[in-house]
Structure 1
Amino acid sequence: MAVRWQTSANVLILTLWLLLLGWQLLAPAPAIALTDEQKLVNEAWRIVNQAYVDTSFNGQNWWLVRQQILSRPLPNREATYQAIQTMLASLEDPFTRLLRPAQFRSLQTTTAGELTGVGLQISSDPTTGILEVIAPIDGSPAAKAGILPRDRILAIDGIPTSQLTLDEAAEKMRGASGSRVQLQVQHGSQPPQLITLERGHIEINPVVAELRHVEGRAVGYIRLGQFSAMAPAEMRKAIQTLAEQGAQAYVLDLRNNPGGLLQAGVEIAQLWMEPGVVVYTVDRQGITESLNATGTPLSHDPLVVLVNGGTASASEILAGALQDSGRAQLVGDRTFGKGSIQSLFSLADGAGLAVTIAHYETPNHRNINKVGIEPNQRVLDAPESLLAMGTTADPQYLAALELLHKPVQVATSAG
């Protein structure tokens, strides 16, 4: 009996040991604590994972991208920023990008209507990485130097822009008022030229309005330079003032307007349009939603909108809504063709991400991304300088005035 008891005890001990070993093998490995640098990478990855418009993440395994980035040594914050930039670059979307703390603050300040630097709105060619000018800001050092939409910036202070991210390039062009920066600029097929600009404080006046008398008719000329937070209120004030002065028709100049806040574009559309769709947004699930004009427009008078290759983003949303609804005709050149919507997200250390969260379509479901909007009347002869815009030396402006004086005017209600 003793022997049998001893054998049973040994079997029991062996069984318990095997069960314990099996539990240890099946139990999850203890979680490895992430460093602060890895946490920041993980935070950026999670934002894109939850918000980015393309759920295929440019046809790649987004989880694997995360693991590859986290496996790298991240000894300091700069290495972390570079790792995040590498991760975002794999999406091949120049508008989804990292904004270092100073860049993030600067972008927020710009949309509020303030800016310091040379005054260029830029994009990046996803193939070559070379910078392309969307538009110079009115009155800025870049505008005064004659830099035009579609010009290419090949180098900044001798550094090829193909080696810089979009925001690194923007940061190099910012700086204290009075300091200088040298740009290598190419216009069309012309030889590149070096242009030295002196940075300055740029006051962004989103709306400039003037009543003009043309062939016995009072025409309100309104130039909208940017869709900043203050732009809708300024536009409302301009329309009301011009109406009180006796305006009978309007020219809305959106040329070289690089866009800005989507909501500002919708609010401004409401000032001109009858109730109806301003823009459709299509999110990552393919769900289409509409942002609509509501209420009564401030004016039903004839309206012509001036556009060109520097008309981009939110200004294309406004131009497309006015064209599709029949509220206005467009005159000028084909617009830039930016049909994506970005949202800003803050990171724990004060940096931020700009992430493409949706694409938009005009009320007639036109996707204008990389295509642009074709004006009703194409006038390729542009003013020779920005100072000539909206004057008698501006062929596009003169064509708009001629269209306003035709017997058959543009429609004034949603179609």
Structure 2
Amino acid sequence: MKKKASFAAGLIIGLCVGLIAAVAVGIAAYRHYTRLIAPGKVVDEFTIQKINLLSDVIDTYSYDYMNDEYTVEEKRDGLYRGIVDAIGDKYSAYMTAEELAEELEDNAGVYYGIGAYVSLTEDGYPYLSGIMEGTPAEKAQLRSGDVIVEVDGESVLGWDLDEAVAHIRGEEGTVVHLKIYREGERDYLEIDVTRGEVQSQTVAHEMLEDDIGYIVIAHFDYVTIEQFAEAYKDIRDHGAKGLILDLRGNPGGLVTSVVGVAEQILPEGLVFYEEGSNGRRIDYPCDGQNEIDIPLVVLVDQYSASAAEILSGSIRDHGVGTLVGKNTFGKGIVQDVKQLSDGSAVKLTVSAYYLPNGDNIQGTGIAPDVEVDLDVDAYYDEGIDTQLDKAIEVLRSQMK
């Protein structure tokens, strides 16, 4: 399947839908604003006049065959989304006040949905980067790596990540219909998922044979630091002589969360640092008081992204662990949410991050020390995890 998304399309849709609602009050407010901004900005007197002209033409000549299917507020939101989409950054997005609340709810660890982590392919399609245990997504037999083509019969082409998540989520007990592209399948899959309450258990752990501790981090949010601390303490209390940290399918999450986890295992030094457009550098250090003293192997794959790459890359650079699996996703940039006075918000890429050795892995990812493919058929048909088996083999050799 050829995956292609156009952010220019987002702007066109935003203008066509949103400009109908560009009323005089909004125009006046923008005119006042443009008196305060410097020349060369995207929003200036010329763009305001152009918006006025487009609005007049649309109001005069456009035939509303949709019969007011969209509210005035939705049309305005379409305009705002179009402006942000014009940046051309798939990670930047306009959020309504309701969407912002959902984002904050997600980071808090409890929400209503299907129980899957959603990211974007390089071509802009939403895909499931991870499936939580015991959730509607798992019960519906969705898989990590499934690419979403339609949600409830509506094409996802041109959606940003927040729009995709907003459509997938919903009230408890309602059904969302997903059209899925799955690698290896001859045709699209049509899957109904009944939404439910999802309590984000971001960390899972168990003891394997030969005193090997195994910890999975599915996502980095507010609860992850404490959940990891509890899991790490438990495997140490049970006599773990080596640790496998599984970051496969982990799409990232909060910077504060990944730093909090790193502080529990890394030696003294940098976890990573950021540099923004203004050239300002922000360091995220570790005091080294809890440096891991047992062999460590980190599992990564092509869906390990962002914060997961910060942790795995920092472990590599400090020489305290071996990376096993596949080359990681390659997201070396940081987003921040800027809330506006009306309760809405804009998520923007604000900086690039660099690993302790100075690498920025945007678009390239991190190559594992030991590369191994996951045999997907063996995994789902027989429960054989070829990547985990290799990680155990590597760790055993280091524990001797």
Q: TM-score surpassing 0.5? A: yes
How far apart are the structure 1 equivalents of 2:29 and 2:74? Answer: 14
CA contact (8 A) 1:150 1:309 kept: no
CA contact (8 A) 1:276 1:294 kept: yes
- Structure 2: segments with no counterpart, 5+ residues: 1-22, 57-70
Residue 297 of structure 1 deviates from its aligned partner by 1.5
CA contact (8 A) 2:215 2:244 kept: yes
Q: Is 1:205 paired with 2:195? A: no
The aligned counterpart of 1:80 is: 76
Equivalences for 1:242-257 in 2 at 5 Å? 242-257=235-250
The aligned counterpart of 1:402 is: 393
Report the secondary structure of 1:290's partner residue. strand
Report the secondary structure of 1:405's partner residue. helix
Alignment match of 1:113 (pick from 102, 109, 114): 109
AA aligned to 1:247 is A
How far apart are the structure 2 equivalents of 1:83 and 1:38? Answer: 16
Residue 89 of structure 1 deviates from its aligned partner by 0.9
Distance change >3 Å, CA 154–CA 352, structure 1 → 2:
same
Distance change >3 Å, CA 138–CA 39, structure 1 → 2:
farther
How far apart are the structure 2 equivalents of 1:166 and 1:279? Answer: 25
- Structure 1: segments with no counterpart, 5+ residues: 1-32, 51-59, 410-415
Report which structure shows greater RCO (CA 8 Å, sep ≥6).
Answer: 1
The aligned counterpart of 1:35 is: 25
Count of aligned positions: 359
Identity %, equivalent residues: 27
CA contact (8 A) 2:265 2:292 kept: yes
Residue 196 of structure 1 deviates from its aligned partner by 1.3
Over aligned residue pairs, what C-alpha RMSD do you find? 3.2
How far apart are the structure 1 equivalents of 2:324 and 2:366? Answer: 11
Larger radius of gyration: 1
AA aligned to 2:142 is I
The aligned counterpart of 1:3 is: none
Residues 322-366 of structure 1, C-alpha deviations (whole Å, 9 max, x = no match): 111111111112222221111112122222221111111211222
Distance change >3 Å, CA 41–CA 137, structure 1 → 2:
farther
The aligned counterpart of 2:161 is: 166
The aligned counterpart of 2:183 is: 188
Report the secondary structure of 1:336's partner residue. coil
Distance change >3 Å, CA 269–CA 255, structure 1 → 2:
same
How far apart are the structure 2 equivalents of 1:352 and 1:268? Answer: 28
The aligned counterpart of 1:325 is: 318
CA contact (8 A) 1:38 1:70 kept: no
Residues 84-111 of structure 1, C-alpha deviations (whole Å, 9 max, x = no match): 1111111111111011122111110111
CA contact (8 A) 1:154 1:185 kept: yes
The aligned counterpart of 1:20 is: none
How far apart are the structure 1 equivalents of 2:354 and 2:88? Answer: 21
TM-score of the superposed pair, with normalisation by structure 1: 0.78
Report the secondary structure of 1:296's partner residue. coil
TM-score of the superposed pair, with normalisation by structure 2: 0.80
Distance change >3 Å, CA 282–CA 66, structure 1 → 2:
farther
How far apart are the structure 2 equivalents of 1:322 and 1:119? Answer: 29
Equivalences for 1:208-227 in 2 at 5 Å? 208-212=204-208, 214=209, 217-227=210-220
CA contact (8 A) 1:249 1:302 kept: yes
